[in-house]
Amino acid sequence: MSEIKNNIKSIYIVDDDDDDRMLMKEAIEHVIGEIDIYEVSDAVHMMELINTKTICEQSSLILMDMNMPRISGLEILTHIKANDYCSHIPVVMISTSSSADLINNAYELGINAYITKPVSAREYIELAEAVTICFLNNNPFPKDAVIPKDNEQKTILIIEDSPDQSVLMSHAIKNTLHNVSIYEMNSPENTMEFFNDHWKTLQYPPQLIILDLYMPERKDGLQLLKAMREFFVSNNINNIPIVVFSFSEDREDIDESYRNQASAYLTKSVDYDNWLSYFQHLIHAWWNVISLPKKPNS
């Protein structure tokens, strides 16, 4: 993968293992180029940074080990989400454990993504590519994208009030994944009608949701995001990733999306030639690199 040019952003890597921090740092620097990476080796120090609001204004992402001495990653996560100054920062949990119970618990506590700790150089690069595409808003997108695998019986829901944008997204996804089914909604009203009247009868419910933020106003997109999350909780449905996809690069739009439980926020490229590669990377990240919860539907 070629190096991606990007405005300088800041990441905190929180892990008590020196080698793991080094490998993650090197992989991210290889993929994204210019980026500020802060290493935190002690969970107690991370708690101090949160309490003093040091990370709250400058951090674009926190990569955090789950198992650390004295204070666990889940305890730190709870502290981050309870802090009004830091609750907007996306958190990716990294762990050697692939336990379904641990993964479910981490999502219930508010992580944005869970990635099993890599064991090879290639897996570290895949981790770096996933967080780069999903959380750091890089344009242009790299063109040497992998093709996501195991796409039988997979579905995606696109929620977009612009017919032209919806067609472009659907076309890009179908050119990438020929076997994927796509549902398309164009308003908050018909989206919630789809959820309330049809979701439980679907043979293959969506495994990924792509949501335009301005539907047509920002408040409409945020209210819909909140309503979908409430629907999943009340119906005991898996924590399905909801990716906000918008032309807006406004910091407040990004922060409010994360505060309302967006899984990721991505800025639309104005160059539609990049969209095919973009969706290849995005879907590969969520379906093949990131571990999602396996809570059974009721």
Residue 292 lies in a domain: no
pLDDT tens for each residue of the chain, 298 residues long: 334 444 578 999 999 999 999 999 999 999 887 899 999 999 999 999 998 888 887 789 999 999 998 899 999 999 999 999 999 999 999 999 989 999 999 999 999 999 999 999 999 999 999 999 999 876 555 555 566 666 778 899 999 999 999 999 999 888 878 788 999 999 999 999 999 999 999 999 999 999 999 999 999 999 999 999 999 999 999 889 999 999 999 999 999 999 999 999 998 877 777 788 888 889 889 999 999 997 554 4
Do both 185 and 124 map to the same domain? no
Residue 94 lies in a domain: yes
Indicate whether 294 belongs to any domain.
Answer: no
| Residue 11 DSSP SS3 | strand
Answer yes or no: do 75 and 175 share one domain: no
DSSP line for 116-162: EPP-SHHHHHHHHHHHHHHHS--SSPPS-PPPP---TT-EEEEE-S-
Return the pLDDT at 144. 58
Whether 150 is in a domain gets the answer no
Overall domain count for the chain: 2
* CB within 8 Å of 175: residues ≥ 6 apart: 276
Which pLDDT does position 3 carry in this prediction?
40
> In the prediction, which pLDDT does 9 show?
86
Whether 211 maps to a domain, the answer reads yes
Among candidate residues 107, 135, 163, the one where a domain is terminated: 135
CA distance linking residue 290 with residue 207, whole number of Å: 13
Q: Supply the pLDDT for residue 142.
A: 56
Kindly state whether residue 180 falls inside one of the protein's structural domains: yes
Give residue 86's domain range: 10-135
Judgement on whether residues 103 and 56 belong to the same structural domain of the protein: yes
Residues 121, 55 within the same domain: yes
Instruction: Identify which of 82, 80, 25 has the alpha carbon closest to the alpha carbon of residue 54.
Output: 80
Of all residues in the chain, what percent are helix, strand and coil, respectively (each to 5)? 45, 15, 40
Q: Are residues 127 and 52 in the same domain?
A: yes
Per-residue pLDDT at 56: 84
CATH code of the domain covering residue 256: 3.40.50.2300
Residue 63 lies in a domain: yes
Model-level pTM?
0.92
- Rounded-to-integer distance, Cα 290 and Cα 223, Å: 26
Residue-level pLDDT at 147: 65
State the pLDDT at residue 247. 92
Task: Say whether both 119 and 177 belong to one domain.
Answer: no
CA gap 9, 19 in Å, rounded: 23
pLDDT score, position 1: 39
| Angle at 116 (CA atoms; ends 228, 179), nearest 5 degrees | 55
Q: Does some domain include residue 289?
A: no
The answer to whether residues 123 and 203 belong to one domain is no
Evaluate whether 246 touches 265 at the Cβ level (below 8 Å): yes
**Is residue 128 located within the same domain as residue 164?**
no
CB 286 within 8 A of CB 240: no
Domain match, 106 and 191 both = no
Same domain, yes or no, for 184 and 111?
no
- Predicted local distance difference test score (pLDDT) of residue 257: 97
Q: Does 120 lie in the same domain as 161? A: no
Residues 160 and 271 grouped into a single domain: yes
